[in-house]
Structure 1
Amino acid sequence: MPTTELTKDNFDETVTGADIMLVDFWAAWCGPCRRFAPVFERAADEHPDIVFGKVDTEAQPELAASFQISSIPTLMAIRDKTILYAQPGALPAPALEDLITKIRAADMDDVRRQLTARTAAKR
């Protein structure tokens, strides 16, 4: 499945419609971003049930700022509208596959319990 260009206009709708979504924050001038792009594209082809989205941080600075992206490439993994992973750096293919396996295996009930407990502790 091809990757989806994400913008501030379609981001929320795309997240809402996806069980799992991986987002690559990138820019055309970024060497590591260009090296990671084929890895991301191959993973998109191998996992058609996952939405693979790309945010061009130059074209979508508001969207990048809303996620506090300060370094690119940054990869974000979202499952059930919950961010499970967000780290800068280009992953090699085996590490990306490992991340996808972990995202699929995540116990979302446990994740929600942990998020609720953290929110309560901050009050």
Structure 2
Amino acid sequence: MSPVLQLGPLALASDRLVAVVALWLFIMIGARPSIAKDSNAAFVAAVGGFFAARLAYVASHLDAFRQDPLAVLAVWEGGFVPLAGIGAAAILLVWRAPRHVSPKLLALLAVLGTTWFAADRLLVTSAASPFSIADTELVTLDGRPFEPKTVGRRPTVVNLWADWCPPCRREMPIFAEAASANPDVTFLFVNQGDGPDLAAQLPRETGLDLKSIILDRGARSSASYGGALPTTIFIDSTGTVRTVHQGAISRAGLTDKLKKIKEIQ
């Protein structure tokens, strides 16, 4: 399981953390006189590349972002096209100093850009493994025991959440819409530590089927997948975990990951 940086209610998963570190290193190292004569070139390229990567993702998911335009600003939820960002940064470097492009700066861009690209491809996807969460004290809202082994008989989304978690509350309406639009996918919402009345309140307000709410009274399940809330686990019809998304998920990101698990039979 990839690590996650938890800052209060904000969870920054490792793939996004790598992107932040890569940008910071590019700006700091690229500003050195031994790397580039123009100390601002790296900053301009980094900022331009960041926006290009985000805009390329938004452009490829316009339907999702039309429903929630402010989600464009929620960059901590992920959603970038690294190759677009790397390409834009290289173009900005050449444009800013067409006759004096530093080979060292371009090499730095190549190294850190490759790291970002690899992280985006590898860290967001867990190693394929059977779904597993703590099975002690898991019960339905009406008090019946829940058996995790029943998960994965068809494409399944498992969301770990709690009522006190602001990002969990913000993403719940998106899950309600997705559950309604994808009847061929099982959605389960494993509440971490709330009582049955509190755990039922938010899902009821957003229109979720309360049968999809599972109570983890000991709040132990999240530890199986990095400890962050919210965490969403995407499982294909073979019962194999394909992707684990730590932190809040966007409508576009949810659409992407649903498509991937539905393609695997």
**TM-score using structure 2 length:** 0.35
Q: Matched residues, percent identical?
A: 30
* 1:34 alignment partner in structure 2: 169
* CA 1:70–1:64: 2 relative to 1, 3 Å: closer
State the distance in 2 between where 1:68 and 1:76 align.
Answer: 8
Q: CA deviation at 1:78?
A: 1.1
* Per-residue deviation, 1:11: 4.0
> Which residue in 1 is equivalent to 2:239?
81
1:20 aligned residue: 155
Letter in 1 for 2:183: P
Q: Which has the higher strand share?
A: 1
More helix by share: 2
Runs (4+) off by over 4 Å:
none
Larger Rg: 2
Q: Write the distance in 1 (CA, Å) between the matches of 2:260 and 2:222.
A: 25
Q: Is the 8 A contact 2:222 2:231 kept in 1?
A: no
Structure 2 counterpart of 1:72? 229
Q: Compared with structure 1, are the counterparts of its residues 27 and 103 closer, same or farther at alpha carbon in structure 2 (3 Å cutoff)? A: same
Question: 2:235 and 2:164 mapped to 1: Cα distance?
Answer: 26
Gaps of 5+ in 1: 1-6, 109-123
Equivalent in the alignment of 1:105: 263
Q: Which has the higher contact order (CA 8 A, sep 6+)?
A: 1
- Residue 97 (structure 1) shift: 0.6
Q: 1:11 to 1:88 in 2, by over 3 A?
A: farther
User: How large is the RMSD of aligned CA atoms in angstroms?
Assistant: 1.8
Q: Is there any run of 5+ residues in structure 2 with no aligned partner, and where?
A: 1-137, 140-144, 195-215
C-alpha displacement at 1:13, in angstroms?
A: 4.5
SS at 2:228's partner residue?
Answer: coil
Q: Alpha-carbon deviations, 1:3-50, whole Å to 9, x = none?
A: xxxx3631424305x311101100100000000000011100000111
SS of residue matched to 1:90: coil
Q: TM-score, normalized by length of structure 1?
A: 0.71
